[in-house]
Structure 1
Amino acid sequence: MTPKPPWHGPHAADQTQRPDPSGSTRCGARSPGRHPTLTSSETAAELVAQAQAVLLDFDGPICSVFAGYRAHEVAAEIMKRAAAAGYALRPDDSDDPISVYKATTGMDPDVIAVVEDALVEEASTALSRTEPHPGIPDRVRQLHTAGHRLVIVTNNGGGRVSAFINRHGLADQVEKVIGRDARRPSLLKPSPDSILRALAYLDLPPEHGVFVGDSTSDVDAGHAAGLPVVGYANKPGKDQRLRDAGADAIITSMGDLVLTLRPRTLRPCPAAGDA
């Protein structure tokens, strides 16, 4: 497969080269690339076990934001409001509210404001009705107990996602929520902006983290930021799309992330020249 070109956007110059999956870029850690018999789920568990920080997408891995509040109806409502204000949008996916907002990239700030305000209102209602996926609170606690720093990186609004995390008792485990940069749709994933902000907050290089997401834009964003990416195939057909996008491992259950977890023991890297 021909390698995909790096993401070109406002932070393209900030990109860090991805760790070589066949080498040992993590101090004291084994590389999944040295274990060709591992399944994709086992590879995902190895990537997580090696990481100091686990960055998680929100909509998909943690919950379904518009579950019980149909996404295509929300997208249609947002487009209707934009049209009423005199703005015609042409999203890549007219059934996806985030795609509708992303379609305002490069448009007048007034258009962006109208659409984002409508998105915030609809997402707030949706999140008030949504629960974490079954088992997710336990998976999050297992990751935290094993010594991983957890950050949610999302195209949704950070404040409302933080409120969701608080409401469901996960604030002690999730260290930070990095949401979209308001009024800047060009910085939504697949831009690496939110992931780079997460790494800056953590004060960690990308080789000490892993990103878990359920979309091809998550894969592109994670790789553009220099992170290995675990693709979460939570719907039929997603596994192939994530694989084609270059995900480093594919899982069909978030429980696969904790297959081999044990408390992490951080050891100092050997000095240069030591073996």
Structure 2
Amino acid sequence: MSELIAALPMYDWPEMRGEVDAQWTSLRDAFRRKDIDAPQSIVRRNGDLPIVSGGIWDDEGNLISPDPATLPPDELDSHKLWLHPALLFAQACWGPMELGLSRHVQVVGQPSYDAYEGGQGELYSSALVMRAGEGPEVRSPADGKALLPLDLIRDRRFTFNSLDSMSGIIALTRDLEAAGENLDIFSSSGESGGHRDSIVAVAEGRADIAAIDCESWTLAQRFEPAARKVVIVGWTARRKGLPYITARTTPEKTVHSMREALAGLAEQPRIQRVG
């Protein structure tokens, strides 16, 4: 039994569990063909993470994460997962990566977003959604540049999934700044806890606008009834999508083999090799 762990938490909606498990099965088998000791299944709970007695420390002697055994067992703290020394493979986000996670992990590859409106290769964008009838619906720009309806969104209530989310707030912040604006364009801003929660908040009138990454928006159209009550009124610019990462301590040979395995799966719709 493998002592390593893997997770695909970023789009692991309850309705998607079967598809996410199938995605891992494909990745796992490709890794095993490269003699990588990939785990049989992905983890979805803090309680599934191996114990790290005394917590997780960096090379400079700083405690960067507590022992997973001290965390609520039936929840999943993605930030603690990403820092686990047994991490073989997981999805992350470039927001946390830019805020310091990149010092503690290695990037293995990038998924492809060709299957989603607003995506192109390893690049994705976020749909700006508002309640139906409050603004004209727009398609993703072919050139991948930001499309911000500044007059429409001014003085509206903005909701976002988390402060460190590239797709939910950081990308929009940067696009607003490029247009000579900032988050003060909104009358208020508040954290929802997740992209799906943001869509529901807008649909129910608790917020007026949210930025939803293009893959989450596609999932919402499949599984979230509230998505039928909102429309896309703008788009952020395309940026690099979610990276696949591994622990900083994963051997270089293993990282190289994983990249070769991803390259071998490149014709499948979600996976590209990095670099």
Task: State TM-score, norm by structure 1.
Answer: 0.27
Task: State TM-score, norm by structure 2.
Answer: 0.27
Choose between structure 1 and 2: higher strand proportion. 2
